[in-house]
Amino acid sequence: SQTIHQWPATLVQPVGSPLSLECTVEGTSNPNLYWYRQAAGRGLQLLFYSVGIGQISSEVPQNLSASRPQDRQFILSSKKLLLSDSGFYLCAWSAQGSNSGANVLTFGAGSRLTVL
């Protein structure tokens, strides 16, 4: 069966420090991978998605970046965090090549980032 791992679960970082959140998927090949941010009272905001190694689409311009160095690994990074980067970050995967039908998103457990 497929599983998705995301870490760290929580972190507190000072403004201006770097960030690295990691996500890995097991039990499937060539998944679509996503990074979302969830702010209180707002819908999930898609930050990045990837359909393959090295292929990253950015949905929202900001000081975050994403990389996909391996098929089932997705990394969210920042060189210098801002206060506004605080939030709940969720990694997710879906099956490749199936835009029709349910093509359900499966989420990781989330990473709560507090920037002070």
Partner 1 sequence: GQNIDQPTEMTATEGAIVQINCTYQTSGFNGLFWYQQHAGEAPTFLSYNVLDGLEEKGRFSSFLSRSKGYGYLLLKELQMKDSASYLCAVRDSNYQLIWGAGTKLIIKP
Interface positions with partner 1 (CB under 8 A): 41-46, 90, 99-100, 102, 104-110, 112
CB of 114 to partner 1, least distance (A): 14
Cα distance between residue 40 and residue 6, in whole Å:
20
Q: Single out the residue of 64, 114, 111, 113 nearest to residue 92, CA to CA.
A: 111
Tokens (6 digits) for 52? 């393959």
Q: 90, 35 in Cβ contact below 8 A?
A: yes
Find the shortest distance in angstroms from Cβ 106 to partner 1.
7
Residue with Cβ nearer partner 1 (11 or 112): 112
Phi, psi (deg, nearest 5) at residue 4: -130, 130
Q: Which is nearer to partner 1, 17 or 46 (CB)?
A: 46
What is the smallest separation between the CB atom of 14 and partner 1, expressed in angstroms?
Answer: 23
User: Quick one: 46 or 53, whose CB is closer to partner 1?
Assistant: 46
